[in-house]
């Protein structure tokens, strides 16, 4: 036997982050569902005075899901996977244990203050970077703590070679660190003006077109390094573990990783097609977005082919189902993205509901499914309990898949309808519709989207219940399962 099997991994911090993943998942998705209904039925804007209008809640939804749910998920899995692939327990290092706990609690404080300030309308307006400067500094501290955890654990590792997942965690850390720092460069006005006005107010270091350029260089690549890279880190560990199959190809892993690192940032320009940034940047954004298919599909194919010869597991295990559907949605979304980046398609789709549709087939399908699968896989191993219900998991899978399909299909139709109506002219070249005509036309699709979102949220509650029951009334396991997670019918 391998001597490392005797290591007792310490999952304290992983458990903390697992709970915050679930908590912020519920909060973020519930707000998302509410704002989806608000678009279809505007009276829902007045549930809590000025604090519950669509415009106030929208940044709360995006930040809650991206930085609450997804990042918590990435950290929960880091504090689980990190120890296991580096063959070292956090219990061996009181320092790293302290850092891990500090990381969690500082993050929780940050999130609470972030929610309060966003509710209060304190915002810099930059998408996914709305927090004002004092909070930005706390974000940086939280991020540094995670960095200490990553490189600290790597420093005391027993396994010499870094497993693929670790590559991706390092990339998430470095990528977001760079992007966040540069995009949030701002000058607090209180200090320059000698103490006038609100102390927390700031203005961006960049103006106009430059600000847009830096913002979308950040915004696009927050997608890269949270939604994509962080989640690939998870699937490269959990799919082989759950299925008992080795990764299909090391060479393909290498190609996909370094390709993704190189290409992803170039593609940010596709958010600014037909804007006032220089034309060559728009073209670069467009071209590199198409090149991006190669490394993206490289990872996805590598993951799917890992199941080669073992496809019957897909029928037997809902957990494998979640992971494979996640990868399929990843392929789907990374094909849709490049299509949207083609200039003529972008001219039609930009500013329409196709864009939220595209984001959500990626986030609900790929990120959401993979994060939940990861948490399901970790539960029996961290709590030494059998998963509570397989049939509940099956039902959840189908309810959420239906939700996603309703979501993206309705938003495609809505988006294309909008785009076509905005540009439609009569025989004399006059615009055929007023703006409000185009709003009226898509209300039915807003209803369908909201119902889709609601189904996904219901599925998330089923997931929460299943995990809760597993921990508190699942059958105790004597030893850790080697591959497939045990689950009661």
Partner 1 sequence: MFSWLEKNPFFFAVAVFVVIAYAGVVEVLPGFANNARPLESKKPYSVLELAGRQVYINESCNACHSQLIRPFKSETDRYGMYSVSGEFAYDRPFLWGSKRTGPDLARVGNYRTTDWHENHMFDPTSVVPTSIMPAYKHMFKKMADIETAYASALTQKEVFNVPYDVEGQTKLGTWEEAQAEVKAQAEAIVAQMKDPEVKAAFERGEIKEIVALIAYLNSLK
**Which 148-187 positions form the footprint of partner 1 (CB under 8 A)?**
151, 154, 160-162, 167, 170-171, 174-175, 178, 182, 187
Contact call for residue 124 and partner 1 (CB under 8 A): yes
CB atoms near residue 364 (< 10 Å): 27
H or E, element range at 188: strand 186-188
Instruction: State the Cα–Cα distance between residues 342 and 286, nearest whole angstrom.
Output: 6
Question: At its nearest, how many Å lie between partner 1 and the CB of residue 163?
Answer: 9
Among 121, 142, 3, residue whose Cα is nearest residue 75: 142
Burial class (CB in 10 A: 0-12, 13-18, 19+), 309: exposed
Q: For partner 1, which stretch binds (CB under 8 A), given 21-29, 211-219, 388-396, 466-474?
A: 211-219
| Max Cα–Cα distance, the chain, nearest Å | 81
Among 145, 214, 222, 375, which residue sits at the site for partner 1 (rule: CB under 8 A)?
214
* Residue 45 binding partner 1, by CB under 8 A: yes
Does residue number 210 form part of the binding site for partner 1 (CB under 8 A)?
yes
Which of 355, 405, 409, 416: binder of partner 1 (CB under 8 A)? 355
Whose Cβ is closer to partner 1: residue 339's or residue 399's? 339
Identify which of residues 162 and 409 has a Cβ nearer to partner 1 in the complex.
Answer: 162
Q: Positive or negative, the Cα torsion across 262, 295, 356, 23?
A: negative
- Contacts with partner 1 in 224-283 (CB under 8 A)? 254, 258, 261-262, 264-266, 268-269, 271, 274-278, 281
| Euclidean distance between CA atoms 405 and 451, whole angstroms | 11
- Residue 223 to residues 267, 334, 364, Cα–Cα distance (Å): 11, 11, 13
CB under 8 A: which stretch of 136-144, 202-210, 384-392, 453-461 binds partner 1? 202-210
Assess 294 for contact with partner 1 (CB under 8 A): no
Q: Does the protein bind partner 1 through residue 425 (CB under 8 A)?
A: yes
- Which of 196, 310, 391, 398 touches partner 1 (CB under 8 A)? 196
- The pattern of x and - marking residues 104 through 123 that bind partner 1 according to CB under 8 A reads -----------------xxx
Question: Any contact of residue 457 with partner 1 (CB under 8 A)?
Answer: no
Q: Does 201 bind partner 1 (CB under 8 A)?
A: yes
Identify the CA nearest to 409 among candidates 452, 368, 345.
Answer: 452
98, 185, 391, 423: residue in contact with partner 1 (rule CB under 8 A): 423
Note whether 291 binds partner 1 by CB under 8 A.
Answer: no
- Give the up-direction half-sphere exposure of residue 85: CA atoms within 13 A in the CB hemisphere: 23
> Whose CA is closest to 289, among 343, 211, 212?
343
* 3, 430, 476, 482: residue in contact with partner 1 (rule CB under 8 A): 430
With contacts defined by CB under 8 A, name the span among 44-52, 69-77, 315-323, 476-484 that binds partner 1.
44-52
> Quick one: 95 or 311, whose CB is closer to partner 1?
95
Of 19, 46, 311, 472, which one interacts with partner 1 (CB under 8 A)? 46
Q: Tell me whether residue 282 or residue 389 sits nearer to partner 1 (CB atom).
A: 282
Q: Give which of 209, 214, 212, 260 is closest to 236, Cα–Cα.
A: 260
Query: Is residue 299 involved in binding partner 1 (CB under 8 A)?
Result: no
CA torsion sign for 471, 477, 480, 484 is negative
- The neighbouring-strand residues paired with 431 are 425
User: Which of 109, 112, 116, 443 lies at the binding interface for partner 1 (CB under 8 A)?
Assistant: 443
Instruction: Pull the structure tokens for residue 38.
Output: 């608000």
Beta strands in 108-239 (DSSP E): 186-188, 202-204
Nearest to 61 by CA among 337, 358, 361, 363: 363
For residue 255, the number of C-alpha atoms closer than 13 Å in the C-beta half-sphere is 15
Asked if residue 92 binds partner 1 (CB under 8 A), the reply is: no
- d(CA 160, CA 85) in angstroms, rounded, equals 10
**Residue 203 Cβ vs partner 1, minimum distance, rounded to whole Å:** 4
211 binds partner 1 (CB under 8 A): yes
């Amino acid at each position: 036997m391998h001597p490392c099997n005797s290591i007792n991994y310490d999952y304290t911090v992983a458990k903390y982050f697992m709970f915050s993943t679930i908590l912020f998942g519920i909060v973020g998705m519930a707000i998302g569902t509410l704002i989806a209904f608000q678009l279809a039925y505007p009276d829902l804007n007045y549930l809590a005075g000025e604090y519950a209008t669509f415009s106030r809640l929208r940044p709360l939804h995006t930040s809650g899901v991206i930085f609450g749910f997804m990042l918590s998920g990435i950290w929960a899995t880091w504090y689980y996977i990190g120890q296991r692939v580096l063959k070292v327990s956090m219990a061996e290092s009181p320092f790293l244990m302290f850092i891990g706990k500090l990381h969690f609690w500082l993050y929780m404080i940050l999130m609470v203050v972030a929610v309060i300030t966003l509710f209060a309308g304190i915002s810099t307006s930059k998408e996914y970077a709305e927090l004002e400067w004092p909070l930005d500094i706390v974000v940086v501290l939280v991020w540094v703590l995670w960095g200490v955890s990553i490189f600290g654990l790597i420093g005391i590792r027993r396994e010499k070679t870094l497993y693929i997942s670790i590559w991706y965690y390092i990339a998430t850390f470095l990528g977001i660190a760079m992007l966040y720092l540069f995009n949030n460069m701002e000058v607090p006005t209180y200090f320059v003006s000698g103490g006038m006005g609100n102390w927390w107010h700031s203005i961006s270091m960049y103006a106009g077109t430059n600000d847009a350029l830096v913002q979308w260089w950040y915004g696009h690549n927050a997608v890269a390094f949270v939604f994509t890279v962080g989640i690939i880190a998870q699937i490269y560990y959990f799919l082989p573990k759950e299925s008992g199959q080795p990764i299909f190809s090391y060479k393909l892993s290498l190609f996909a990783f370094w390709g993704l690192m190189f290409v992803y940032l170039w593609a940010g320009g596709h958010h600014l097609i037909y804007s006032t940034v220089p034309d060559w940047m728009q073209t670069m954004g467009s071209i590199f977005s198409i090149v991006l298919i190669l490394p993206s599909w490289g990872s996805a194919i590598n993951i799917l082919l890992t199941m080669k010869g073992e496809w019957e597991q897909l029928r037997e295990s809902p957990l494998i189902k979640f992971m494979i559907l996640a990868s399929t949605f990843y392929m789907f979304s990374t094909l849709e993205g490049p299509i949207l980046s083609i200039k003529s398609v972008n001219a039609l789709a930009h500013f329409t509901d196709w864009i939220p549709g595209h984001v959500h087939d990626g986030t609900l399908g790929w990120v959401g499914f993979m994060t939940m699968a990861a948490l399901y896989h970790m539960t029996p191993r961290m709590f030494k309990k059998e998963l509570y219900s397989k049939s509940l998991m099956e039902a959840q899978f189908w309810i959420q898949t239906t939700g996603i399909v309703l979501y993206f299909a309705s938003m495609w139709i809505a988006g294309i309808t909008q785009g076509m109506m905005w540009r439609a002219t009569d025989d004399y070249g006059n615009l055929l519709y007023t703006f409000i005509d185009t709003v009226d036309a898509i209300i039915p699709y807003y209803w369908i989207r909201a119902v889709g979102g609601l189904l996904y949220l219901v599925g998330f509650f089923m997931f929460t219940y299943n995990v809760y029951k597993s921990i508190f009334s699942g059958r105790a396991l004597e030893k850790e399962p080697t591959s497939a997670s045990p689950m009661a019918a």
